[in-house]
């Protein structure tokens, strides 16, 4: 079994900085790069980004949907990207936001967290809003094989508050309960746990308003919202306060806009890593 994902992630951040490079090959980006909006286009974009950021970011985060929209050839391009990253020793967080029950969740876990699976990644994103227990197949398989799971807790989309800010019968906010349950999964971790949280960098005072303590935990904090969505160093330090050292700065447009030149992408990655280190 590999070393725990949390340990490997912490080492990658120490070596390369906290930036996670989102690979989101949507149609406007492909057009801006002069690439076709097809499976070949997403393959070429993904390969260029990986070449540029290898050794310059903590991890890559491909968004599965932008590959899936091109059918089996698009999924094959994602398989190849994940395999090439694994060969290079680049950590992968596959953004799939899986969340289901029973055998279906087990199948999702098999697809992404079992060693040797065609779509194997080092970690995946998951949604706990069918109940945290619904994630158990993924959590158990990840623990068995040294993989990671990032659990949606506080997202920055306006409608997220309808569920995440809601209160349970005892008054505890749903998002706070998710954070507490994630931290229970990390109870035995020496430093960083392998079960992380997704907390948007643009959620403002929501953690404090909901009574969420991010500082005392061990969960790595995957934080979208940087760059084009408006968050920067000030927002990171305000939202995450004393937990800033565990924040993974997820950037996509702010990085990919430097393409398609590999050298320009690498320079952009280095500038972002230095900014948030």
Assigned domain for 74 exists: yes
pTM above 0.85, yes or no: yes
Q: Which of 37, 75, 83, 97 is catalytic?
A: 97
Q: Report the alpha-carbon distance of residue 228 to residue 125 in Å, rounded.
A: 21
Whether 229 has a pLDDT exceeding 80, the answer reads no
Assigned domain for 188 exists: yes
Residue-wise pLDDT tens digits, 181-224: 999 999 999 899 999 999 999 999 999 999 999 999 999 999 99
Assigned domain for 24 exists: yes
Q: Which residues, other chains included, contact 103 with Cβ-Cβ below 8 Å and sequence gap of 6+?
A: none
CATH (domain of 143): 3.20.20.70
**What is the pLDDT averaged over residues 52-63?**
98
Assigned domain for 237 exists: no
Q: Is the dihedral of CA 237, 180, 164, 152 positive or negative?
A: positive
Q: Is the dihedral of CA 212, 213, 219, 220 positive or negative?
A: positive
Residue-wise pLDDT tens digits, 24-51: 999 999 999 999 999 999 999 999 999 9
Question: Which structure tokens are listed for 154?
Answer: 């506080």
User: Is 61 a catalytic site residue?
Assistant: no
Residue-wise pLDDT tens digits, 2-23: 899 999 999 999 999 999 999 9
Assigned domain for 235 exists: no
**What is the pLDDT averaged over residues 252-271?**
96
Place 1 in a pLDDT band, splitting at 50, 70 and 90.
low
Question: Which structure tokens are listed for 111?
Answer: 């697809």
Assigned domain for 240 exists: no
Q: How many domains does the chain have?
A: 1
Assigned domain for 117 exists: yes
Assigned domain for 161 exists: yes
Listed range (104-113, 127-136, 158-167, 225-234) with the worst mean pLDDT: 225-234
Q: Report the alpha-carbon distance of residue 96 to residue 71 in Å, rounded.
A: 16
Look up the domain containing 129 and give its range. 5-230+246-276
Question: Which structure tokens are listed for 199?
Answer: 């907390």
From the list 67, 86, 68, 83, the residue with the least C-alpha distance to 2 is 86
**What is the pLDDT averaged over residues 110-125?**
98
């Amino acid at each position: 079994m590999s070393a725990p994902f949390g340990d490997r992630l912490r080492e990658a951040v120490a070596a390369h900085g906290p930036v996670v490079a989102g690979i989101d090959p949507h149609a406007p980006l492909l057009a801006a790069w002069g690439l076709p909006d097809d499976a070949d286009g997403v393959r070429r974009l993904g390969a260029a980004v990986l070449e540029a950021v290898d050794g310059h970011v903590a991890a890559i985060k491909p968004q599965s949907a932008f590959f899936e929209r091109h059918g089996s050839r698009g999924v094959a391009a994602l398989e190849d990207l994940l395999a090439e990253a694994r060969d290079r020793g680049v950590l992968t967080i596959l953004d799939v936001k899986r969340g289901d029950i029973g055998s279906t969740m087990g199948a999702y876990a098999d697809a992404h967290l079992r060693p040797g699976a065609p779509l194997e990644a080092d970690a995946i994103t998951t949604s706990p809003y069918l109940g945290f227990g619904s994630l158990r197949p993924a959590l158990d398989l990840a623990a068995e094989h040294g993989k990671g799971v990032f659990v949606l807790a506080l997202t920055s989309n306006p409608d997220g508050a309808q569920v995440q800010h809601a209160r349970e019968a005892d008054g505890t906010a749903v998002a706070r309960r998710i954070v507490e349950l994630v931290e229970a999964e990390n109870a035995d971790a020496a430093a960083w746990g392998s079960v992380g949280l997704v907390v948007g960098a643009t959620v403002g005072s929501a953690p404090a308003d909901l009574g969420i303590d991010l500082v005392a935990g061990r969960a790595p904090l995957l934080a979208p919202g940087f760059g084009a969505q408006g968050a920067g160093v000030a927002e990171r330090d305000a939202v995450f306060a004393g937990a800033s050292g565990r924040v993974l700065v997820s950037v996509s447009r702010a990085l990919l806009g430097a393409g398609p030149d590999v050298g320009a992408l690498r320079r952009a990655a280095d500038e972002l890593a230095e900014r948030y280190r």
